[in-house]
Amino acid sequence: MRKTGNSKRRQGSLTRESIVDAAIKLLDEVGEGRLTFQVLSKRLSTGPGAIYWHVENKDDLIAAACDTVVAAAMSSSIVGETPQETIKRIALRVFDMIDVHPWVGSVLSRSAGQMPMVRLLEPIGQQVQALGVQQEKLWVTASALISYVFGVAGQNAANARLAKENDLDRTDYLDKVSTAWSQLDPLEYPFSTGVAQQFRIHDDREDFLGGIDLILGGVSQQR
């Protein structure tokens, strides 16, 4: 009797998938804060009510969008010479994904335990295992890596959002923050005023890998 979703009412039929795809595009263009059911319905040439037939609510929609992007980024297998190398490549995939879809960074850091996190935990955990980490330490080690990746993701997303909101490109934004730091009281904030210059010229991607290296170094030391 029921052929849920398969029956095509017309060519541009509404599906959960097509809705999520449109949402992803919109999120990429305007960010999480400006994704509304109004503009989403308009873009799909329908009303908000029709969308709610396929999607539970906005959280559900955003979670689905996030999961779709993460799944796509992790779909093709990743192999490196060593487990360390592979872990770095996985991490870079995440980094580049956030670069293209900054909003994923902030959604991801709120999705503890959910499917998108598992999609990252799985390949990373497998490599941690390949590193020869002892059974009881598998979770701690993998979770440390995940937490670090999520931390960087969240901050990159925040940086992208702040830069966009102030109509600045990356360089101008770094300049602004760096200047703010260097103007702090050097007696109270000796370190921050000191690294302000390093911050101005730092490379997110390189620093990200640097952090992964530190954790991997710690792992190799523990054996």
Partner DNA sequence: CTTTCATTGGAACACTATTCCATAGTTGGA
Partner DNA sequence: TCCAACTATGGAATAGTGTTCCAATGAAAG
Q: Are 74 and 118 in contact (CB under 8 A)?
A: no
Q: Min. distance of Cβ 28 from a copy of itself in angstroms? A: 19
Interface region with a copy of itself, contact rule CB under 8 A, candidates 48-56, 63-71, 87-95, 128-136? 128-136
User: Which among 12-20, 41-49, 75-83, 136-144 is the span making contact with a copy of itself, rule CB under 8 A?
Assistant: 136-144
Q: Is 186 in the site for a copy of itself (CB under 8 A)?
A: no
24-30 long-range CB contacts below 8 Å, 24 or more apart?
Answer: 24/65, 24/68, 24/69, 24/101, 27/62, 27/65, 27/101, 27/103, 28/100, 28/101, 28/103
Rounded to the nearest angstrom, the gap between the alpha carbon of residue 192 and the centroid of all alpha carbons in its chain is: 27
Total of chain residues touching a copy of itself, rule CB under 8 A = 65
Contacted by 217, from a copy of itself, DNA, none: CB < 5 to 8 Å by type: a copy of itself
**104: contact with a copy of itself by CB under 8 A:** no
Among 180, 182, 186, 205, binds a copy of itself (CB under 8 A): 180
CA 173/CA 213 separation, integer angstroms: 27
> Is residue 216 at the binding interface for a copy of itself, with CB under 8 A as the rule?
yes
Q: Binding residue for a copy of itself (CB under 8 A) from 15, 139, 170, 171?
A: 139
CB atoms under 10 Å from CB of 150, counted, come to 19
Partner whose binding site includes residue 8, from DNA, a copy of itself, none (CB under 5 to 8 Å by kind): DNA
Beta strands in 52-195 (DSSP E): none
215 in contact with a copy of itself (CB under 8 A):
yes
Contact 163, 169 (CB under 8 A): yes
**Is residue 84 a contact partner of residue 46, using CB atoms and an 8 Å limit?**
no
C-beta atoms surrounding 99 within 10 Å = 14
- Tell which residue, 112, 203, 113, 103, has the closest CA to residue 153: 103
CA distances from 3 to 6, 8, 9, 178 (A): 6, 10, 12, 58
Give contact residues for DNA (rule: CB under 7 A). Answer: 1-5, 7-10, 13-14, 35-38, 44-50, 52-54, 57-59
213 touches, from DNA, a copy of itself, none (C-beta below 5 to 8 Å by class): a copy of itself
Residue 168 binding a copy of itself, by CB under 8 A: no
Q: Which residues bind a copy of itself (CB under 8 A)?
A: 106, 109-113, 118, 121-122, 125-126, 128-129, 136-144, 146-152, 154-159, 161-162, 177, 180-181, 184, 188-192, 194-195, 198-199, 202, 206-207, 210-211, 213-222
